[in-house]
Structure formats: structure tokens, C-alpha cells
Amino acid sequence: MTPALSIRDLGIRMGGRQILHGVSAEIHEGEFIGIFGPNGAGKTTLLRALLGLCPISCGELLVFGKSPGKANHSIGYMPQRGDSIEGTALSARSLVSAVRRGESWGIPWPSSASRNDVALALELAGASSYADRPFSVLSPGEKTRVMLAQSLIDKPRLVVLDEPLASLDPKNQMLLVEHIEKLRKETGTTVLFIAHDINPLLGVMDRVLFIAGGGAALGTVDEVITAPSLTRLYGMEMDVIKTDKHVFIVSSESNVTEAACHA
Ligand SMILES: Nc1ncnc2c1ncn2[C@@H]1O[C@H](COP(=O)(O)OP(=O)(O)OP(=O)(O)O)[C@@H](O)[C@H]1O
Ligand SMILES: [Mg+2]
């Protein structure tokens, strides 16, 4: 079976700097992959590369067996921040409608099938109750859910979510993770989910992709979130503290816990 994502010896250079090098990973269809790593490690860059939005400088990157950009109709993408649409006067529902595959020009006049798809995406993202309010007046957490609905329209085979938990309180983080997991179970969608805190995803991830120091490690939490593996990636002494329910990543050199359990 063709993997959802096949990455071989990938290198990405930008602005004269090597951002990623020697990254290899194979992700199977239907997997839930948590992507972690420090700020500036290249997590967003990798997601943009698989969408064809950022050129690769060496190696191979295939999405459902196709070159980056060629499988975008199968991908639902939630970018890291919604700054570009922040001030829009459109309602949340219109905003979600507007991303439907560009089937028509001008102001969209959605068919009833299209209206149903939009309603379903809003429902799946838990955003139905405020779908008719202007996007600009929604709270950051509500905006997150509307952007999630945008990524779920057109029933994607792969959902790519860049820090969807960033503006959510712990309860809503849990609800959103449950939503995504339910969707994955019902539809078999592959999920790539970037987060800084590994803990909200512990119960749902199949494997983690940890990116640091330009490289990456893919495996189960027990394989990757270990002191030797993270020390190798960060290029500095790292410790991992595991309790029954939580995982804490600690820099042993500075003796400072990275924002208490944040990667
Ligand atoms: N267009 C660009 N030109 C030059 N450098 C870039 C460009 N885009 C990103 N970078 C650099 O690439 C590196 C990786 O950025 P990226 O946004 O992928 O990090 P990240 O892991 O997503 O970080 P964060 O956790 O802060 O979101 C950063 O050092 C960033 O400055
Ligand atoms: Mg990022």
C-alpha cells in the first residue's frame, strides 16, 4: 500500500541556512502522528514542503506517492496562525464555504450539497453554535475551531494541523483532540498534528515525529521520547521524566524544565 507520506534523506535550505537535513520517515495511511520539537526546528517548514509551498533542496518527499503539491486536493491544512484572515467581516460559515475547491468564480453561491458539507465540517470541528457570527469577533479558541472546520471540508485523506491547541484551554484542548481522533476513527484520515505539549496527545498518537537540530526521529513515544534519542537530536543533554499520565522533557544542562512538559 502506498504510504501517506514517504520522506527520504530530505534536506531543506532557506535564507542561506540548512533548516532540515537527512530526514527520513514513512507514515502509513490512517496513522495519527504527533509532531514536536523546539521553536524554529522546522516543523511548519516540513508541513509547507509537503504541500509544495516550500522547495526541498535534496532527497525525496512523496504524498500518497505524488510530488509535493500534486496531492493537495486530498489534504486539509490548518496553518499555524490565521493572521491573514483575522479581520475578515465574513461569518465563520462563509469562510468555511469559501475554501471549497474553487469550483466557481466570484462570490460563492453554494449548492445544497455544498451547504451540507460546510455544516458537517463545522459540526465535526465543534464550531456550529457560532458559525453565523463574524469571524473577527470570535475568541481565539473559537477561531481555531473554525479554521479546523476549513481543513476538514472536502473529506481529506490527510489532515495537517499546525498547532491547533495553541489558543485553547486544557478542557478545549482535550475536546479538540477527541474530535480529531473520532474523525480519524470514522474516516481513516491520516493526521499530522503539530503541538508543543506532548501530553494532550498521549492517548491518541500512533507515533511521534520529533524534529530538532535539523534532524528528526520517528517512532512510538517509548522509542523517541527518551533521554538518549532527544540528547542526540538536540545536541545537548536532555532528560525525560515519565509519570503514569504525563511526560516531561527536561534540559539537564540548564536544569530547566522546558515549560513544564512542553517539547
Ligand atoms: N521563508 C523563509 N526564509 C528563511 N528562513 C525561513 C523561512 N521560513 C522559515 N524560516 C526559518 O526556518 C526555521 C524553521 O522555521 P519553522 O517555522 O519551520 O519552525 P517551527 O518548528 O514551526 O517553529 P515554531 O515552533 O516556532 O512554530 C526558522 O529558523 C525560520 O526562521
Ligand atoms: Mg511552526
Least confident window among 23-27, 79-83, 143-147, 205-209: 79-83
* Ligand 1 near 42 CB (within 6 A): yes
Percentage of residues of the chain with pLDDT beyond 70? 88
Over 60: is that where the pLDDT of 256 sits? no
Does a structural domain hold residue 263? no
Higher-confidence residue: 124 or 37? 37
Does a structural domain hold residue 211? yes
Over 70: is that where the pLDDT of 218 sits? yes
Does a structural domain hold residue 262? no
Question: CA triplet 34, 141, 101: central angle to 5 degrees?
Answer: 70
Ligand 1 mutation target, pool 10, 44, 163, most atoms within 8 A of CB: 44
250: its cell numbers: 527536561
* Ligand 1 near 138 CB (within 6 A): no
Ligand 2 midpoint to CA 208 (Å): 16
Angle between helices 170-187 and 140-152 (to 10 degrees): 10
Least confident window among 56-60, 63-67, 183-187: 183-187
**How many Å apart are CA 132 and CA 149, to the nearest integer?**
13
Does a structural domain hold residue 127? yes
**How many Å apart are CA 96 and CA 148, to the nearest integer?**
9
Does a structural domain hold residue 40? yes
Per-residue confidence at 129, pLDDT binned at 50, 70, 90? very high
* Ligand 1 near 14 CB (within 6 A): yes
Per-residue confidence at 168, pLDDT binned at 50, 70, 90? confident
Q: What is the DSSP pairing of strand 5-14 with strand 75-78?
A: unpaired
Question: Considering only CA atoms, which residue is closest to atom 24 of ligand 1?
Answer: 39
Q: Which ligand sits closest to the CA of 55?
A: 1
Cell 491518541 belongs to residue: 204
**How many Å apart are CA 51 and CA 172, to the nearest integer?**
28
- List all residues 6 or more positions away from 217 whose beta carbon is below 8 Å from its beta carbon: 209, 210, 223, 224, 229, 232, 233
Question: CA triplet 221, 229, 3: central angle to 5 degrees?
Answer: 55
Domain count for the chain: 1
* Ligand 1 near 45 CB (within 6 A): yes
**How many Å apart are CA 150 and CA 262, to the nearest integer?**
27
Does a structural domain hold residue 12? yes
Does a structural domain hold residue 200? yes
- List all residues 6 or more positions away from 262 whose beta carbon is below 8 Å from its beta carbon: 196, 197, 249
Q: What is the pLDDT of residue 116?
A: 86
**How many Å apart are CA 202 and CA 244, to the nearest integer?**
11
Does a structural domain hold residue 223? yes
pLDDT digits (tens, 9 = 90+) for 20-52: 999 999 999 999 999 999 999 999 999 999 999
Q: What is the pLDDT of residue 104?
A: 43
Are the C-beta atoms of residues 194 and 161 closer than 8 Å to each other?
yes
Residue numbers of the domain that contains 111: 5-257
* Ligand 1 near 43 CB (within 6 A): yes
Ligand 1 atom nearest residue 15's Cα? 4
CATH code where residue 149 lies: 3.40.50.300
pLDDT digits (tens, 9 = 90+) for 68-111: 999 998 999 998 875 566 667 788 888 888 776 544 444 455 56
Amino acid present at 41: A
Question: Considering only CA atoms, which residue is closest to atom 30 of ligand 1?
Answer: 40
